[in-house]
Amino acid sequence: MKAETKNLSIFSVIVVILIVITIFSLRNINHFVDDTKWMTHSRDVSMVLSNNLSDMQAVETGSRGFLITGKASYLLPFHLASPQLKRNIIQLRILSKDNPIQLLRTDTLERLSLLQLFFSKEVIDFRKHYGLESAVNLVNKDDGRKTMDAIRSITTRMQNTEKILLEERTKITKESLLSTKFFVFFGGLFSIIVFVFLMIFIKRALKLERELKKSKEHAEKLVGFKDDFLASMSHEIRTPLNGIIGFTKILLRNEIINKQKPHLDAIKTSSDILLVLINDILDLAKIEAGKMIIESTELKLRDLVNNILGTFELRFDEKDLKIIRKYDDRIPVILLGDPVRINQILLNLLSNSVKFTGDGGQIGVNIRLLNQDSESANIEFIVSDNGIGIPEDKLKTIFESFTQSSNDIARKYGGTGLGLTIVKRLTDLMGGTISVNSQLKVGSSFTVLLPLKKTDAIVIPKEVETKIHDYDVKSQGKLKILLVEDIPINQFLAQTILHDFGFESDIAENGKMAIELLEKNDYDIVLMDLMMPEMNGFEATKHIRNTMLPPKSTIPIIALTADVTKADVDRCEEAGMNEYVSKPINENELLKKIMHQVKKHKKLL
């Protein structure tokens, strides 16, 4: 920022200097042009005066020649010069209109010229009518000579005045020319300096641009490495978690001795916490990469809030927490929004409140309609508690990544400090706001304001929600499933889950083996892992869709993936997969999607 300000200042100074040089150069050039015009004007005045004196002498010469000889041919100069005298006076008046003294002298010169012209005509008339002697006597009176001397005198004075003006104007013109040369030289020199400076600046800018381009490419590579790392870590961590959580659930469903249950519950709780941590990190990475998609679907806000509170009932009971629920009945029954992200926001806020509120404490959940119009409703979610509170100096930073109010908090209560960061980012993505009021040892109150769209819908489209006990294998017949999975633990877990559903299954360790089995046998559905040796799930799916003949080419394929980034979901769709289930596997979700895809496929056949 400082470099940009410095460069801007330099360019501003350069522009100002160039403008000043240009203004002064133009002003001096204008002065030079004006002075040159006045010099020409003085020369014109002197020339007209000289012409007028010459014409007067021609009048005098013509009249005297005729006086002496009596020949009419000597009158030619007189006749030619007479009309020119009038034109000379008119020119002098025009040229002298800016100079009152010269204008008065022009009047005098006109009067003397007319007087001399009249006298010359009189001499000519005397010579013609009364003879030489009478004309000579008229001339000897000396009136003509005196008039002519007066004309020469005033002409000389006028010319001297113009000469003085010419000298002054010549001096001024030289000064203007010198000043103009200076500014032109200085401007040219400065322009050369500016040009050199600009060339250096442009060269540096181009170099900087190349460096920035390299830095951008490097940063993009780093982002790619980060995405690859997150995807890899997600896959590598979720894969063993899939086995840990899956088998823990299976064990908890089976008959176990009472002594084992607390141990299994501890394993499941620890696994769930680790899974939440992984999901938080991946969600934050998606938000920062601009890949988080906010959906807009119909939702029943009251049901959504009740379901979230229902998931916390066990934790509320464990800490003997009192829950105060308030729900504004004015809120429209059905609104448009992203139920998954609203659920995530409330889960994080409630998790924080439960974590930082002591046994026997109190948590408030208040959902109210702030305002509404014909198109949208602004809903306010307030989650409050009487827990440990947040220091005032930490309130500005609690929404930053990996931030907690103190190290003691992190050691005592655990957590990564990502929950509130994700809440803030999700709220921003949905066009809402979040604020917090807190006091140490008194409690905290988080307020989220979300603008939700209204809808004319009166019911929410429901997918088939199937639970394990809802599926009657005997009445429906056993489904035969092709499980494509390369990791033995995941094979064992998936087969165990499918066996509990009452399904039959075959295992293929990679995409190539899956294609071979699918060509030989008939299956109702394929559960396809993505990352496998020899042929991965994407390649196998494309081969099935593009190479095999119906009905095998249209068999439902559900992806089993530990990678849950949007890029992988998009790749699944592009390859031709119908659905995906993320690992660790949610049994109810898996059964629901299997049943939905099988029924849908049978309807198409």
Q: Residue 107 has what pLDDT?
A: 84
Q: What is the pLDDT of residues 365-374, one digit of tens each?
A: 999 999 999 8
Secondary structure of 58-106 in the HEC alphabet? HHHHHHHHHHHHCCHHHHHHHHHHHHHHHHHHHHHHHHCCCCHHHHHHH
For residue 481, give the H/E element and its range. strand 480-484
Domain boundaries, the chain: 2-199, 297-454, 468-604
User: Is the peptide bond between 584 and the residue preceding it cis, with omega within 30 degrees of 0?
Assistant: yes
Q: What is the pLDDT of residues 219-274, one digit of tens each?
A: 667 656 666 666 666 666 766 777 777 777 777 777 677 777 777 777 776 676 67
Class of CATH domain 297-454:
alpha beta
Q: Does domain 468-604 have CATH number 3.40.50.2300?
A: yes
Calculate mean pLDDT across residues 442-470: 72
Contact 20, 172 (CB under 8 A): no
pLDDT category of residue 140 using cuts at 50, 70 and 90 = confident
Above pLDDT 70, what percent of the chain? Answer: 78
Q: What is the CA radius of gyration of the chain?
A: 53
For residue 229, give the H/E element and its range. helix 143-253
Distance of CA 371 to the CA centre of its chain: 32
224 burial class (0-12, 13-18, 19+ CB within 10 angstroms)?
Answer: exposed
Q: What is the pLDDT of residues 526-567, one digit of tens each?
A: 999 988 888 999 999 999 999 998 888 999 999 988 765 666
SS3 558: strand
Contact 365, 350 (CB under 8 A): yes
- Going 448 to 453 to 458 to 462, the CA torsion angle's sign is negative
User: Is the peptide bond between 240 and the residue preceding it cis, with omega within 30 degrees of 0?
Assistant: no
Most confident by average pLDDT, 52-66, 412-426, 501-515: 501-515
| 465: pLDDT strictly greater than 60 | no
| 412: pLDDT strictly greater than 50 | no
Q: What is the pLDDT of residues 431-454, one digit of tens each?
A: 999 999 988 888 899 999 999 999
Calculate mean pLDDT across residues 173-197: 71
Calculate mean pLDDT across residues 194-214: 79
Q: What is the pLDDT of residues 290-335, one digit of tens each?
A: 667 788 888 899 988 988 888 788 778 888 999 999 999 999 999 9
Rounded to 10 deg, the angle between the 2-69 and 76-95 helix axes is 150
Dihedral angle computed from the Cα positions of residues 574, 579, 582 and 588, in that order, rounded to the nearest 10 degrees:
180
pTM, entire model: 0.50
Ramachandran area for residue 221 (φ above 0: left; ψ -120 to 50: alpha; else beta): alpha
pLDDT category of residue 418 using cuts at 50, 70 and 90 = confident
